[in-house]
Amino acid sequence: MVSRVSRARAGIGPRKIFRFLCWTPVSSSFIFWLVTFTLQGRELGPQDLGLIRQLLFEHPDWSRWRLSQALCQHWNWRNGAGQLKDMASRALLLKLQQRGDIQLPPRRQTPANRMRQTKVAPWVWDGSAIVSTLAALGWLQVGEVSQSRSERQQVAAALSQFHYLGFGGAVGENLQYTVRDGQGRLLACLVFGSAAWKCRDRDRFIGWTVAQRKANLFLLTNNTRFLVLPWVKVPHLASWALSTVRRRLSRDWQAKYGHPIHLVETFVERDRFRATAYRAANWIRVGETTGRTRQDRFYSLQTPVKDVYLYPLHSKFQQRLCA
């Protein structure tokens, strides 16, 4: 209880005491109108939420796709290559609905799980042994093939058949490389995609805050797949391929997506591989994973422990990632 004397000293009357004790927010969305918050790497405030609600009210006939497009255009929300960030916008709208801030129109189409439905076309391989020194192979061709349908299909077929993790296709921003000999025979392939959302030892190595990680994670990439075909026996080919691709990776990313890459990561399953090629190509081992996945909310899903390897692509990578 607050005494009359203390109320008098504080200059608080009975009505103010009553208002203080009885005030509570009407709903969680009321709070969101008072502060900004971040979704899909974009900071949202009262005006943004009001705009979305206005579009929903004024255009009840719009599909979710039409709403997403209009939102991107109003915000001029584009990637570095100038393309509307439609997928990010749709993910943002879904998260707002999950939070109870908006109610989206019903889906007009059930989204297909492309990763599950992807069927890799069979490929006829010439499995003739290629046993040589790197020098004896002569001139090697390294190509970025993510925008070539036929070459993507060959990469997918090779990874699906010969990589221990298989391959269901690449999603989001990605680059895919092939290494071929002078006769055009495929020797190796590499895929780079989205970086891990969180990684304790990587994040410690960079030294960024949670907010900086959320804002700049797109400036990292993960070497998600690397395969030398099983009949190719060429010492040092793997480390040569890693080094050659690494030198052009940021430039190729800039050309396709309009922004550079400052750091590359990969995760090597320690019970299966020794990471010889990565170490020979001067990648840095910074630690190990915890043996859990990002879906492991209750610490019950065990996965193989992997060593974390990084390669900075810019001398000032920490300064740029921590901006």
CA distance linking residue 120 with residue 53, whole number of Å: 42
In the block, tokens 């090697």 appear at 140
> Is the dihedral angle over the CA atoms 319, 80, 143, 192 positive or is it negative?
positive
Give me the tens of pLDDT residue by residue for the chain, a chain 323 residues long. Answer: 444 444 444 444 444 333 433 344 444 444 444 578 877 778 888 889 889 998 898 888 888 888 998 999 889 888 766 778 887 888 889 889 888 889 998 888 765 554 454 577 788 899 999 999 999 999 999 999 999 999 999 999 999 999 999 998 887 899 999 999 999 999 999 999 999 999 999 999 999 999 999 999 999 999 999 999 999 999 999 999 999 999 999 999 999 999 999 999 999 999 999 999 999 999 999 999 987 554 444 444 568 999 999 999 999 999 999 99
CA distance linking residue 171 with residue 233, whole number of Å: 31
Across the strands, what pairs with 178? Answer: 143, 189
Q: Could you tell me what percentage of the chain is helix, strand and coil, using 3-state DSSP and rounding each to the nearest 5? A: 40, 20, 40
| pLDDT per position as a tens digit, 33-64 | 457 887 777 888 888 988 999 889 888 888 88
Q: In this structure, what DSSP letter does residue 143 have?
A: E
Structural domains for the chain: 33-98 (no CATH), 114-321 (3.40.630.30)
DSSP string, 171-214: -SS-EEEEEE-TT--EEEEEEEEEPPS--HHHHHHHT--HHHHH
Give yes or no for a contact between 265 and 224, defined as CB atoms under 8 angstroms apart: no
Q: In this structure, what DSSP letter does residue 84 have?
A: B
Give yes or no for a contact between 85 and 72, defined as CB atoms under 8 angstroms apart: yes
Containing H/E element for 252? helix 237-257
pTM across the whole model: 0.71
Q: How many residues does the chain have?
A: 323
Across the strands, what pairs with 306? Answer: 269
Question: Could you tell me the two tokens for 128?
Answer: 């003739």
| pLDDT per position as a tens digit, 71-80 | 998 898 887 6
Question: Could you tell me the two tokens for 151?
Answer: 């070459």
Write down the pLDDT at residue 115: 46
Question: Could you tell me the two tokens for 133?
Answer: 């020194």
Give yes or no for a contact between 187 and 240, defined as CB atoms under 8 angstroms apart: no
What count of other Cβ atoms lies within 10 Å of the Cβ of residue 169?
15
Give yes or no for a contact between 63 and 88, defined as CB atoms under 8 angstroms apart: no
